[in-house]
Amino acid sequence: MSSTQQSTAATGTDEHELDRSARNGVSELEMPTANQTEGRNLDIEHVVVKEDPRKWGRARKNVTLWIVSGSAMVSGLATNIQNPANAQIEQDLHASSGQISWTLAAFIIIQGNFPLIWSAVSEIKGRKLVYVIAAILFLIGSTVVATAQSIQLAIGMRALQAVGSSAAMSISAATLADMYDSHERGTKMGIFYAAPLLGPAVGPLLGGGLAQAFNWRADFYLLVILDAIILMAFLFLFKDTFRRERSLTYQIALRRRLKEQELSRLKGASDTTMAACSAEKHEAVERGESKASHTNSRDIEANVEVSLPAQGLPEVKLSLTDVNPLPPLLKILQRKNNVAVLCSSALIFGFSYTIVYTCARTLANSYHYDALQTGLVLLSFGIGNIMGSIFGGRWSDRELARLKDRNGGKWNPEMRLESTKLAMLWLPPSVLGYAWVCQKHVHIAAVCVMLFLSGFFAIWMYTSTLAYIVDANTGRSSTAVASNSSFRGTVGFVAAEIAVPLQDAIGDGGLYTLWAGLLIIMELLILLALYKGEAWRRDLEEQENAKAE
């Protein structure tokens, strides 16, 4: 390969080189001009592309933001809307309480882990195709649940609903990363994440109201109507934000496919050459000459080098190998800073799901509230979530800008986590307050206040950790967010399964004192990533560079 080719194309067959090119601030896929790179360090997220989503007008960006937020809102609503109607479902479908629990548990675990598949597909075929297919699956699942005559069919279709709804919970954050730079990403993440939080906020209230006015099936017919609107928006108003040049996953799949094609071509040529050399070797042996050699398949494979074109990356035909979520997931989990923050965000989500679930039981058993009254009380937690998401996102961007100015314009993703420190002081005391006002059955106003504060500070921190996961995984934002979804879904599933036994055994006071302790551990994990994350990332990058060389 000539020096010109080396300066304009990505060479080699190893993922480490792509990582290194992204970190070193130079794209080997498409070299920008001097004017484009002057005065700033270019990384893979800023490779020059056609119709750059970051250069779209405000109107198009806002339309895209509201569409994906609307999709996430419907997904969040689907998680919680059936809770007030569980008694009706149990009676109408002749189901046991255990079967009703499975309609919830299956939804949570699938919604949490299926984004790993969606993210892998979106990094090959783009975001829009995933959104459309997922919305269709959700529409089918919601329609069948609304008309189901058996609990077994309802459980299966709730699982299909979870598959469809899971895309919006992870791919949407990657869509925002496609459109917005790091300095405004926290604010937009805060606005976006407020949408699925409307589920815990209004889901119980809306679900209880519809169930009382009509029956439990009305809850799912509402989901059908909302999802149909979202599907139309994706089909006719949404423009794909995915750009292949900015995706490490796509480029690695492309390299692998090109290498396979080159190996096939060279081996075919080698077979012809070897046949011609066979007679020559025989004659040399007869003359007593021992120096005869040929190129074998291992030699060919060891010396094959492929290059990607400087512009216009070719399409890759989708295969099961290309959408294997494990290799990109392992890349995320290799980084200790990622693991620390993923565990912390999972604990926040587990707490948030548990408090809604157990509070509904407390309100029914100790305060003797009906479904509508329960929904109104839980609305305080949802409002705290929404306000915490919006405020936390803005505070995250503000702190990042302040630290960048203080550091002469230089920044690292860990600076984003500084914004969580203020919330850290207030979250455990708020949870402890909730624990004991519930345990002592004090006036409902105190319960509402503690629910609001717990929701506000928990989601404030979660918004910052979500933005950090995107910032710290350049070129893999979709996989990083899907990994976050997997962690939180798994912890949410476990928390939901053990919440009721623990609540019955030690009461709300003991349960949420325990959660306050777990949330202190969560805060320590965030501080660990804040102070050690940059060093951890550098060490791993040096190791990857050494392997690549």
Tokens of 319: 């295969």
End-to-end CA distance of the chain: 17
The DSSP result for 23-36, as a single string, is HTT--SSSPPPHHH
Query: Coil, helix or strand for 234?
Result: helix
Residue type at position 373: Q
Yes or no: say if 354 and 195 are a contact pair by the CB < 8 Å rule: no
Closest CA to 104 of 496, 371, 484: 496
| Count of CB atoms situated within 10 Å of the CB of 366 | 12
For the beta carbon of residue 231, count every other beta carbon within 10 angstroms.
18
Q: Which residues pair with 307 in a beta bridge?
A: 11
Q: What is the pLDDT along the chain (549 residues), one digit of tens a residue?
A: 443 333 333 333 344 444 444 444 333 333 333 333 333 344 666 777 788 888 899 899 999 999 998 998 898 888 878 877 777 888 899 888 778 778 877 888 888 888 888 888 888 888 999 999 999 999 999 999 999 999 999 999 999 999 999 888 778 878 888 898 877 777 777 777 777 777 666 777 788 788 878 889 999 999 999 999 999 999 999 998 887 777 766 777 777 766 666 676 666 665 566 555 555 555 555 555 544 444 454 444 444 444 455 445 555 565 656 666 777 778 888 888 999 999 998 999 889 878 887 888 888 888 888 777 877 888 888 889 889 888 888 888 888 888 888 888 888 888 889 999 999 999 999 999 999 999 998 999 999 999 999 999 999 998 888 888 888 887 677 778 778 888 888 888 888 778 888 998 999 999 999 999 999 999 999 999 999 988 888 887 777 666 655
* Cα angle 108, 375, 189; round to 5: 55
Rounded Cα distance, 185 and 396, in Å: 9
Q: How far apart are CA 318 and CA 3, in angstroms?
A: 32
Q: At what angle do helices 477-548 and 326-333 cross, to 10 degrees?
A: 70
> Which residue type occupies 46?
H
Q: 131: part of which helix (H) or strand (E)?
A: helix 127-147
Encoded tokens for 509? 């006071």
Closest CA to 459 of 359, 399, 386: 386
Ramachandran angles phi, psi of 11, nearest 5°: -115, 165
CA angle 233, 65, 237 (to 5 degrees): 25
3-state helix, strand, coil in the chain (%, to 5): 80, 0, 20
d(CA 458, CA 441): 23
Reading the block at residue 525, the tokens are 């994990």
Measured from the Cβ of residue 39, the count of other Cβ atoms closer than 10 Å reads: 6
* DSSP symbol at 315: P
Count of alpha carbons within 13 Å of 423, Cβ hemisphere only?
Answer: 33
- Cα separation, 222 vs 228, whole angstroms: 10
Q: What is the pLDDT of residue 230?
A: 95
Q: How far is it, in rounded angstroms, from Cα 201 to Cα 147?
A: 26
| DSSP tag of 85 | G
